Amino acid sequence: MPEPLIYLDHNATTPLDPRVLNAMLPYLRDAFANASSPHAAGRAVARAVDVAREQVASAIGADPREIVWTSGATEANNLAIRGAAASPAYRGRSRIVTVATEHPAVLEPCHALALQGYEVVTLGVDVDGMIDLEGLQEAVTPETLLVSVMFANNETGVLQPISEIGALCQDRSVLFHTDATQAFGREGIDVNRAHIDLLSVSAHKAYGPKGSGALFVRRKGPRARIEPMLLGGGHERGMRSGTLNVPGIVGLGVAAGLAAEGVETGRVRTRTLRDDLERRLEVRFPGLMLNGHRTNRLANTLNATLPGIPAQRVAECALGLAVSSSAACTSAKRLPSYVLRAMGLSEEAIRSSLRFSLGRFTTQAEIECVADRLADAIADAASEAPACDPDPF
């Protein structure tokens, strides 16, 4: 009988928490009315949406009226960046500042704007994956419209100095957007203390359902202005038209509430397990090298180079162990990690790097088995057996 799966790929997606599923089920079966309908059934569903809005807002220190529902963080990032660029309120400002290690959902909208004539400044990072605040300060000019810096990197877990960046942007009267997809539910977030104007989240990284997300849009101090990308109904105060995905929204709300209740205890528990995993891997694989900042990173994330291993094949073919290679965690395209390349890693080191990302349901017993399963996977990948096909369709 095959060994039970040890799932250490939570930065890619998390399992649906049973409590979240239970909250969603009534809105998948009986309470199916449109939240915009005026009848009693519609109003009842709308109240559930309002509760979810309050739950998400509370998790990040926002006003419920500042939460705009989206299909996920990719849409939220696009709405924040492209929506701000399209706003007449910022006419005359044509510079956007971002970072080389951002998710494609930030980099590609910025590239699209560059093709339209915007000046996009892409800052580099140091060997630990951290940006240089002095370099950022120099990049923010009177022509700057928006700065977009990821809260926590999806590959390395590196945490950027968000509060310092927010203060800098506020002093310069520049919009500050952060993709908080990986930090939401794992790190404490306060949009007011951190001077954040726009913030993106996705439910499925926080034990909620896929296809549900949100964008925080500041209402005052000052108000962030964005133009909609989707037209056709004026939903979400005109910022995002479309019939609301009520089960997904309810799920995101419950997931946000559960995460907010246990951020600190979860962080301590997960960090303990991750540090134990790191020690065990260092013993089993003496050449292991950590990628990313040792302390300024998510408590659940370990990205490491194991020199000489075919990381992508190990990740694709390992039985009973789910981890990501640096060739597979950036997008649907199987390309070497631009994040690790921006940190100065060689192509050989990138091809030998794996990401382990722990979660709410990871156990100590599982951590004790990882090194052995990884060693077996490496041996299998180095054998003469035909390579497995990770995508047969």
d(CA 298, CA 195): 21
SS3 state at 250: helix
d(CA 139, CA 359): 37
Phi, psi of 156 (to 5 degrees): -105, -15
Instruction: Indicate which residue of 110, 169, 317, 329 is catalytic.
Output: 329
Amino acid, single-letter form, for residue 75:
E
The long-range contacts involving 339-344, CB below 8 angstroms and separated by at least 24 positions, are: 339/101, 339/129, 339/153, 339/155, 339/156, 340/155, 340/156, 340/291, 340/303, 342/100, 342/101, 342/124, 342/125, 342/129, 343/101, 343/125, 343/126, 343/127, 343/128, 343/129, 343/156, 343/291, 343/292, 344/127
The question of whether 388 is a catalytic residue gets the answer: no
d(CA 145, CA 156): 28
Would you say 130 and 158 are in contact if contact means Cβ atoms under 8 Å apart? yes
* Residues assigned a catalytic role: 329
